[in-house]
Structure 1
Amino acid sequence: MSKNELKKEIGLVPALAIVIGMVIGGGVFFKPTAVFTATGAPGLGMMAWVLGGIISVAGGLTAAEVSAAIPKTGGMVAYLNETYGDVWGYLLGWAQTVIYFPANIAALGIIFATQAVSLLALGDGMIIPIAIITTIFLICMNSLGSKTGGAIQTVATVAKLVPLFAIILVGLTKGDGGVVRLFPMTAADHPIGTSLGSALVATMFAYDGWINVGAIAGEMKNPGKDLPKAIIGGISVVMAIYLLINVAYLFVLPATTLAATKTPAADVASVIFGPGGGKIITIGILISIFGSLNGYIMTGMRIPYAMAVENKLPFSNWLGKLHPTFKTPINSGILIGVISILLIFSGKFDQLTDLLIFVIWIFYVMTFCAVFTLRKNRPELHRPYKVPLYPVIPAIAIIGGLYIILNTLFTQPMNAGLGLVATLIGYPVYKSRKDKFIKSDEDIA
């Protein structure tokens, strides 16, 4: 094995754990509000959770072939560079810097603050200040070194499972709603096509993170056999958890009540555990969201740094600097933090998540299409894993992705337009800096 080759040490069980850990975040505790508001009926809302899982499985299986065939650092940026040219990889990196990670951080900061305000019985006027303070605190913690951020992540990963399983077990056994709260299937004043699409966009935030599972392909003992099992098994477990907790929600509170509250999981916990027990579960939810926020900050601050190292951004000399003691990309963290704080001032959790899902799914669909392009144009590529049931699985992923994108364009044109404009601003920046790019050793090779 060469010194630059990854060790192949990951088997099926740890791969499953990685998938589950990357996908489950804060969305499962808060997105029921948006889902049941969009559908107006519990049945259609549950269908959105199922379809979101199916599209995620198909997307994960499809993207994994591209990842295994192009085992380069940079993830999706490398895949788009290799398939379509460096302008598309640049636009993705730009979108991740100015939209995807900051919007994720802002949205998670808002729901963390919303939950904290509810727990401490503070006024809504404290939501934005708490969100900003929490974001700044975690950026500072991650600037102290990856070990600090990693320790926070480990504690939060364990903590996130406690409220999930507590609500599922007690809600299903003590909830008095029964199956009647799973019906009706549709609502008369909610058109099925657009309602399902809007709910699907909401669920995709809760499922987001599956795109990263292909990154472990190079470190798996048997990726051709175990990677599809890890993706199907991992996302299926996540989907089962999401369905069970939503059924538990509906057993305790009707869909109309869930649609009307900012804190659906905490409200359900208060009903089934009482005020004291509900507060304990709420603290678990807060820790889970805190961990998700930490994870996006830890990852997000490294995106502009990686681009700046190759001189791809304005002020690259500043953004590419590391802290002299902790060797962390502190200046890139400041940039991500400033953009995130500006977005926090909107105070709109669902708008932010819909915006980031719309933008990132444009690049997801391009990644899915890359399977067809690479099989045609690069048949010589070594593919340790190939997507099963080709071309059906990639087609499901592409059709599902296009439905999410088009539905957002029609139902939220201003939000979609904002995302497109912010992304396309990256093109003149790319043109102005193309001659200044510094190619990495991997690209030169």
Structure 2
Amino acid sequence: MNGKLNSTIGLPAALSTVVGMVIGSGVFFKPQAIYTATNGAPGLGIIAWILGGIITITAGLTAAEVSAAIPKTGGMMTYLSEIYGEKIGFLTGWMQTVLYFPGTIAALAVIFSQQVSELMGYGPQNMVVVLPVSLGIIIFIALLNTVGSSFGGFIQTVSTICKLLPLILIIIFGFIKGNGNPILTPLVGGETTVIGSLGQVLIATLFAYDGWINVGAIAGEMKSPEKNLPLAIVGGLSIVMAVYILINLAYLWVAPASELATSVAPAALVAQKIFGNTGGKLISIGILISVFGALNGYLLTAPRVPYVLSKEGLLPGSKIFSKLNKGGSPYNSIWLIAGLGCIYALSGQFNLLSDLTIFIIWVFYIFTFYGVVKLRKEKPDMVRPYKVPLYPIVPIVAILGGLFVIINQLITMTLVSLGGIIVTLIGLLVYSYKIKLR
């Protein structure tokens, strides 16, 4: 054993990895937020899926240079620690631990429970059903991941099939059976403006595209990463973007944007119109399994961040959260993430939670993009298995796209955004305190 990862991943496997990591719950549920923001008009929503895809592709191409140049475990937390120092690296891990991961888990649990409530005939906003199911599903999956990880692999395989099948069926039969509705006009409805709505719809689409940051993690195991990694990113994310645009065109072909804006589960609504009550329920069950798989994926991977921080003695209660059980599972870190997820889930607000997590994670994504520029200047001789193409245009597009979303979110959702920033900055106090104890 030479301690190095074997270069065994070819382009087809890399493409499927990219597609599998990115397609999740957002494509099934975010059309409601998008068409609510456009005031029931279709045009800007479709444009947002295209813009979100372009921003995501530039983001993936840019971040991949950092991850390929710093082939260490730990993800973005490790990259930013190497580029900006331990304090920024800790702040990244702190943000992921207290906001991003539990917030995303909570958002997925809420939308899962709303779909369950809808299937049971109680309606998606029945908190008597939604709250206990939200908390129950988080606790159940945390328990499974605490006991062992073999179940996790099985769930990921099943959920991958279950998230692709509804998409394929709705795309095919949506265009066959749909009556046709306006798709590109009008851009926005009523007194809504394009500029005023663009940030909100982009935040929604970027949630659906999230997961691309993990793409660079496979660079060390790829054959010819300098050639195949950009092809996998551009190809994989282009496939995702094409699927997202096609499915949203199919949604609109079956149901008008004004109707999609009123449905918590637009995909289930469209499926019911296409396949009837029984077929619609079967599609809805497939979507539920997909969301279950996404929840499992986050609760499987997220605890690694507080575990690593605790191993370095940087989190309060590090002795507790750095423990492993007999199965090698960081069980206390799992329950930390799950516990925070349960607290966030009490809000019962899918769109609010997902908007918060995307806002705060994109702040750190921009640090990652600028890290490429910083490393090019400060370490020109650094070994780079892969370099972002069309430098510096691609990183600049990624940075500007991220800045637009963040600034717009600060203006339109000021209190929520500032709350996320304040909770993140509390990490500086925690870091200073823990450093003094070293």
Common fold by TM > 0.5 = yes
1:311 aligned residue: 313
2:42 aligned residue: 42
1:373 aligned residue: 374
Deviation readout 1:322-345 (Å, 9 max, x if unpaired): 11x322111111111111111011
Trace 1:253-268 onto structure 2 (pairs within 5 A).
253-268=255-270
TM-score, length-scaled by structure 1: 0.96
Residue 182 of structure 1: how far off its partner (Å): 3.5
2:135 aligned residue: 132
Trace 1:276-425 onto structure 2 (pairs within 5 A).
276-323=278-325, 325-425=326-426
- Paired letter, 1:167: I
Question: Following the alignment from structure 1 to structure 2, what is the Cα–Cα distance between the partners of residues 181 and 218?
Answer: 42
Question: Following the alignment from structure 2 to structure 1, what is the Cα–Cα distance between the partners of residues 196 and 185?
Answer: 19
Trace 1:2-401 onto structure 2 (pairs within 5 A).
3-40=2-39, 41-122=41-122, 124=126, 125-178=128-181, 180-323=182-325, 325-401=326-402
- Paired letter, 1:159: C
**Contact 1:312–1:436 (8 Å) recurs in 2:** no
Identity %: 53
Question: Following the alignment from structure 2 to structure 1, what is the Cα–Cα distance between the partners of residues 38 and 237?
Answer: 23
- Paired letter, 1:412: M
Question: Following the alignment from structure 1 to structure 2, what is the Cα–Cα distance between the partners of residues 392 and 37?
Answer: 33
Moved more, 353-362 or 73-82: 73-82
Question: Following the alignment from structure 1 to structure 2, what is the Cα–Cα distance between the partners of residues 295 and 311?
Answer: 26
**Contact 1:71–1:218 (8 Å) recurs in 2:** yes
- Paired letter, 2:306: P
**Contact 2:187–2:194 (8 Å) recurs in 1:** no
Residue 435 of structure 1: how far off its partner (Å): 4.8
Deviation readout 1:317-364 (Å, 9 max, x if unpaired): 1111111x3221111111111111110110110010010001000000
Residue 434 of structure 1: how far off its partner (Å): 2.0
Question: Following the alignment from structure 2 to structure 1, what is the Cα–Cα distance between the partners of residues 122 and 335?
Answer: 29
- Paired letter, 1:99: L
- Secondary structure of the corresponding residue to residue 3 of structure 2: coil
Residue 82 of structure 1: how far off its partner (Å): 1.3
Question: Following the alignment from structure 1 to structure 2, what is the Cα–Cα distance between the partners of residues 119 and 354?
Answer: 25
**Contact 1:142–1:298 (8 Å) recurs in 2:** yes
Question: Following the alignment from structure 2 to structure 1, what is the Cα–Cα distance between the partners of residues 89 and 196?
Answer: 31
- Paired letter, 2:56: S
Question: Following the alignment from structure 2 to structure 1, what is the Cα–Cα distance between the partners of residues 437 and 292?
Answer: 38
Question: Following the alignment from structure 1 to structure 2, what is the Cα–Cα distance between the partners of residues 254 and 170?
Answer: 16
**Structure 2 residue ranges without an equivalent (≥5):** none
Residue 185 of structure 1: how far off its partner (Å): 2.0
Question: Following the alignment from structure 2 to structure 1, what is the Cα–Cα distance between the partners of residues 104 and 315?
Answer: 21
Residue 190 of structure 1: how far off its partner (Å): 1.1
**Contact 2:44–2:184 (8 Å) recurs in 1:** no
**Contact 2:9–2:222 (8 Å) recurs in 1:** yes
Question: Following the alignment from structure 1 to structure 2, what is the Cα–Cα distance between the partners of residues 311 and 155?
Answer: 37
Question: Following the alignment from structure 1 to structure 2, what is the Cα–Cα distance between the partners of residues 186 and 257?
Answer: 14
Residue 95 of structure 1: how far off its partner (Å): 0.4
Question: Following the alignment from structure 1 to structure 2, what is the Cα–Cα distance between the partners of residues 315 and 95?
Answer: 17
Deviation readout 1:385-411 (Å, 9 max, x if unpaired): 110111111010000000011010000
**Contact 2:106–2:341 (8 Å) recurs in 1:** yes
Question: Following the alignment from structure 1 to structure 2, what is the Cα–Cα distance between the partners of residues 205 and 88?
Answer: 24
Deviation readout 1:255-285 (Å, 9 max, x if unpaired): 0110111111101000000001111101100
Runs of 4+ residues deviating >4 angstroms:
none
Residue 137 of structure 1: how far off its partner (Å): 0.4
- Paired letter, 1:18: T
- Paired letter, 1:78: T
Question: Following the alignment from structure 2 to structure 1, what is the Cα–Cα distance between the partners of residues 304 and 285?
Answer: 29
TM-score, length-scaled by structure 2: 0.97
- Secondary structure of the corresponding residue to residue 30 of structure 2: helix
**Contact 1:102–1:337 (8 Å) recurs in 2:** yes
Question: Following the alignment from structure 1 to structure 2, what is the Cα–Cα distance between the partners of residues 293 and 65?
Answer: 28
**Contact 1:52–1:204 (8 Å) recurs in 2:** yes
Question: Following the alignment from structure 1 to structure 2, what is the Cα–Cα distance between the partners of residues 229 and 436?
Answer: 47
- Paired letter, 2:99: I
**Contact 1:23–1:210 (8 Å) recurs in 2:** yes
Deviation readout 1:86-109 (Å, 9 max, x if unpaired): 111100100000000000000000
Deviation readout 1:128-153 (Å, 9 max, x if unpaired): 11011011000001112221212111
- Paired letter, 2:376: R
Residue 122 of structure 1: how far off its partner (Å): 2.9
**Contact 1:311–1:436 (8 Å) recurs in 2:** no
Question: Following the alignment from structure 1 to structure 2, what is the Cα–Cα distance between the partners of residues 301 and 74?
Answer: 11
**Structure 1 residue ranges without an equivalent (≥5):** 438-445
Deviation readout 1:164-198 (Å, 9 max, x if unpaired): 111111001110024x2432123241121120110
1:443 aligned residue: none
**Contact 2:34–2:45 (8 Å) recurs in 1:** yes
Question: Following the alignment from structure 1 to structure 2, what is the Cα–Cα distance between the partners of residues 194 and 406?
Answer: 12
Question: Following the alignment from structure 1 to structure 2, what is the Cα–Cα distance between the partners of residues 424 and 242?
Answer: 35
